[in-house]
Amino acid sequence: MRKNIFIWVSILLFVGCSMNTRTLKKTETEAVIQGIGMTEFEAREAALKEIQGIFPEYKESKPTECKQEYYASGRTVGSGANQQYSASGSTYYSCIVYAAKK
> C-alpha angle 90/96/97, rounded to 5°?
145
**pLDDT tens digits in sequence order for the chain, 102 residues long:** 555 555 554 554 555 556 799 999 999 999 999 999 999 999 999 999 999 999 999 999 999 999 999 988 989 888 888 889 888 999 999 999 999 999
Query: What is the reported pLDDT for 6?
Result: 55
Kindly compute the dihedral angle of the four CA atoms of residues 8, 69, 20, 64, in this order, to the nearest 10 degrees: -160
CA distance linking residue 55 with residue 48, whole number of Å: 10
* Amino acid code (one letter) for 83: Q
Entry pTM: 0.69
pLDDT of residue 34: 96
Report the pLDDT value the prediction gives residue 5, as an integer from 0 to 100.
Answer: 55
